[in-house]
Structure 1
């Protein structure tokens, strides 16, 4: 968590400095196109401040009111960031639409381009770093903030090109027209962030993460693990919670069952790349399981093994043993 706080704090300080630079460029040029970037920088600062708080809250230990911890606040943070970006985009579109029909003189475009280009490069480097770190930790808040900064870099690059185009062509209405295009791009980016946050808040399955879990289980499965089914996953910030049913030989005593459950838990936490909390319900095997069971020297086997049922995403997420498929 200290690493996450440090990254967000760097983003917050950098965003504040860049915001001042962008508004200086706007007052220097009086360009709506520059204002689009300056207005979005306000969102960067506010979003980073909220992200800093959400990461702090996500690190608070679970309590009676929050038995699964406070990790979901990170999804809420991403929602706020997306909403703020969307509002900024809509304001930019409205102001630029008005200015399209009522253009105002603009000036010092070359100097403004230099300032905006510099801020874009800084945002690009920081955004790439945050996305890389956000995936490694993992933290959806840091990754979302990084993607936002990369969006800002794309905006700044387009801004520099547009300002130079206006400077050389002297076509003033391009300032507002290009601002509208950038505003639409910002709104689309906001939609993607909101969509992702709502998916997390509604416990939508993250198939990339679950697929990796299933892959590890399949490649490292033990002969005692007859099947895994009814697997469900929920993300709580940087932590994954999985419910599943594990079928084991029905002659195992409680101690052996407990050991097998611990092995599943340890395997995923060691090799799946994400901290995972398991809630495993164990099922006893039935005679119908024998035809795909690999357990050697089984004292109750009713028939020889004749099928190999792979553990695929589709198989393990079904709410029934494999023999019922």
Structure 2
């Protein structure tokens, strides 16, 4: 799993990449006057802001626990992803406004070949970086980095649609296709922003770990609880890269505290070895608290 320092360096590079891609798309729009390319450039402004937020969120999320935040700052990444989704929605609305006016007053495209080539170059660079962010973010269990990568991948898809629409407009002379493609881009961005906000809100609501992870937790506890009677009331939640696990462990009434503690240590060590970023809380209970024995 990538270290915290590595993630923060990648997030810093994301800011520079976003600025470079924005400059390319801005040049493509300036050369052509295309409202569809303007919409693509507008989304890149959001990319720059989102990269800044992701960098700050990763920096904040990895701060150690303190007196005011005894469970850490892990959820900061979810706030970044929510804000990124909100910015995407705002950008989509601005693009729709521009497309609406351009539809009734179609614009002749200037230097289309050069503008499209520059925009295509920006799209390829965006795609490579998006793939890298999503892959690294999932490996590191970083919601902010995954959200940033998914947003960039949305930008890649919409850029491809824009290029296709503009090539069709130039081939047919139907200039109204330019604002129509801008509107399609905006609607796609709007959907992605809504999805991103919804996913991040789930994280803020202490969503449980996925079913395959839950099954793995149950297996590890079962394999390492020798000497106990049962475990029950297993609860989990995720907060950024951290996963919190809590359950009740029933032991024989005559078992000493020291013996029970050794078993708890064994279970915790096994969970930490198999699952990175876990925080385990075990409530030891006497035999009469058993539910299934």
Contact 1:210–1:233 (Cα < 8 Å) also in 2: no
**2:171 counterpart (163, 168, 173):** 168
**1:57 counterpart (57, 60, 67):** 60
The 5 A counterparts of 1:11-22 are 11-22=14-25
Q: Post-superposition, which runs of at least 4 consecutive aligned residues in structure 1 deviate over 4 A? A: none
**1:37 counterpart (16, 40, 48):** 40
Corresponding position: 1:81 with 2:84: yes
CA distance in 1, matches of 2:127, 2:110: 26
Contact 2:225–2:267 (Cα < 8 Å) also in 1: no
Q: Which residue of 1 aligns with 2:192?
A: 189
TM-score scaled by structure 2?
A: 0.93
Shift in Å, 1:84? 0.4
What SS is found at the alignment partner of 1:20? helix
Deviations 1:134-154 (A, max 9, x none): 111121111111111111111
Deviations 1:249-307 (A, max 9, x none): 222110011111111111111113x2111111112223x95xxxxxxxxxxxxxxxxxx
Q: Quick check: which has more Rg, 1 or 2? A: 1
Corresponding position: 1:217 with 2:220: yes
Q: Structure 1 unaligned runs (5+)? A: 290-320
Shift in Å, 1:104? 2.2
What SS is found at the alignment partner of 1:232? strand
TM-score scaled by structure 1?
A: 0.85
Change (3 A) 1:79 1:209: farther
Shift in Å, 1:23? 0.6
Deviations 1:78-110 (A, max 9, x none): 001111011101111122122112222222222
Backbone CA RMSD of aligned residues: 1.7
Contact 1:110–1:163 (Cα < 8 Å) also in 2: no
What SS is found at the alignment partner of 1:322? coil
Change (3 A) 1:210 1:30: same
